[in-house]
Amino acid sequence: MPSRISDALKDHPVHLPHNILDLGSVKELPDSYAWNAPPLPCDRTVLDLSVPVIDLGHPGASTLIGHACKEWGVFQMTNHGVPRDLLTEVERAGRDLFSLPLQQKMRVARKPDGVSDYGVTRISSFFPKLMWSEGFTVIGSPLEHARLLWPHDRAAGFCDVIGRYNDEMRRLAGKLMWLMLGALGIRHHSEDDVTWAGPNGDFPGASAALQMNSYPACPDPDQAMGLAAHTDSTLLTILLQNDTAGLQVMKGDGSGWATVPPVDGALVVNVGDLLQMLTNGTYPSIVHRVFVTRNAHRHSIAYLYGPPSGVKIAPLPALTGPGHPALFWPVTWSEYLGMKAKHFDKALTSVRLPPPRVSDMESLTPDVNIETKS
């Protein structure tokens, strides 16, 4: 079994399409990008519902977060302590990177077994059409790739911003974990529950990836998909979006999509599959996707946060007991990424207890028409 996230991804190579295009200069939607069979991007059953916006400085923040995680699996947060200048700088770093000419970005194109680099989203292989987006994944230091993209001083500047942003995200993700778990009565000192938690309320050794996304303006947005519906495999994801709307989340009851509007200075937090497992299903991971528009170029940066390599995630003992059996068997993030790479939206079902019968799942093959949460 792979032990680190980078090893898990190497075992499941994703190939870049041969005909990768410079999306910013395309005037007509090519057929390979036209989603004309389900899942359709234009099924915009958009609900008039708002994802909660929570002020982290509010005395009741933990309770509000717990409620949002149960009801939605996503919320926006303000007053999160990440300096505004740093948000601006990291947003600019992403914009600078994606505005490079395609041939230059291709210098750091993902190798079939690569992890940290430029390419299409990893879930592309589950869909018959290409998505109207490009991504740059950072796991560890981006220095080697930054040096291939820029002259010395600019490469160092890019890495400095990414380094500072990663530090802030790690701090914030640890804080969020306790706010989320605190709402369920799990406290810092309960080492028996969260075995990998550090003594200072932090999570030493936590793993993470930074995913920079670019969604250029699109000549036919109704037929294009920025990012197809998926859940993140993480404990939690912290997302910075620019001022262009695009992110949509599926309301837990499957009744429709809600758009998460950009709120100046706010960060979006979404529950990932591993947190659903850790909380024994109390906090469901959220299905989300991204639509594109005709006139605006959207950028986002996702901080994907998970446990240290080797740590098995299982339902917390405090959340199981008589009448509340554990619903998932223990897995490391790497093991789970392997399952996700194989089963996509059926990965969570594949780790359910009791083990699913094949007939329950109509086999473990992915359902590429994922429209609602199963």
Ligand X SMILES: O=C(O)CCC(=O)C(=O)O
Ligand Y SMILES: C=C1C[C@]23C[C@@]1(O)CC[C@H]2[C@@]12CCC[C@@](C)(C(=O)O1)[C@H]2[C@@H]3C(=O)O
* Site residues (vs ligand X, CB under 6 A): 211, 213, 227, 232, 239, 241, 246-247, 288, 290, 300, 302
Which CB, 133 or 279, lies closer to ligand X?
133
Q: Which does 122 bind (CB under 5 to 8 A by kind): Fe ion, ligand X, ligand Y, none?
A: ligand Y
Which CB, 62 or 242, lies closer to ligand Y?
242
Q: Is 298 a catalytic residue?
A: yes
Q: Which does 290 bind (CB under 5 to 8 A by kind): ligand Y, Fe ion, ligand X, none?
A: ligand X
Q: Mention every residue, 6+ apart, whose C-beta is less than 8 A from residue 141.
A: 159, 163
Told to check if 345 binds Fe ion by CB under 5 A, we report no
AA identity, residue 301: I
Cβ burial, residue 28 (10 Å; 0-12/13-18/19+): exposed
Which CB, 64 or 278, lies closer to ligand Y?
278
Helices 61-71, 152-182: inter-axial angle, 10-degree rounding: 90
Q: Which does 9 bind (CB under 5 to 8 A by kind): Fe ion, ligand X, ligand Y, none?
A: ligand Y
Q: Which does 300 bind (CB under 5 to 8 A by kind): ligand X, ligand Y, Fe ion, none?
A: ligand X
* Residue that the structure tokens 């001083």 belong to: 153
For 308, the token pair is: 């240290």
Q: What is the 3-state secondary structure (H, E, C) of 163-213?
A: HHHHHHHHHHHHHHHHHHHHCCCCCCCCCCCCCCCCCCCCCCCCEEEEEEE
Which CB, 247 or 314, lies closer to ligand X?
247
Report the interface residues with ligand Y, using CB under 6 A: 5, 9, 121-123, 137, 209, 211, 230, 232-234, 304, 340
Taking the complex as a whole, how short is the minimal distance between the CB of residue 355 and ligand X, in angstroms? 28
* Residue that the structure tokens 């969020």 belong to: 176
- Taking CB under 5 A as the criterion, the residue among 117, 134, 232, 345 binding Fe ion is 232
290 has which bridge partners? 227, 247
The residues that are catalytic are: 298
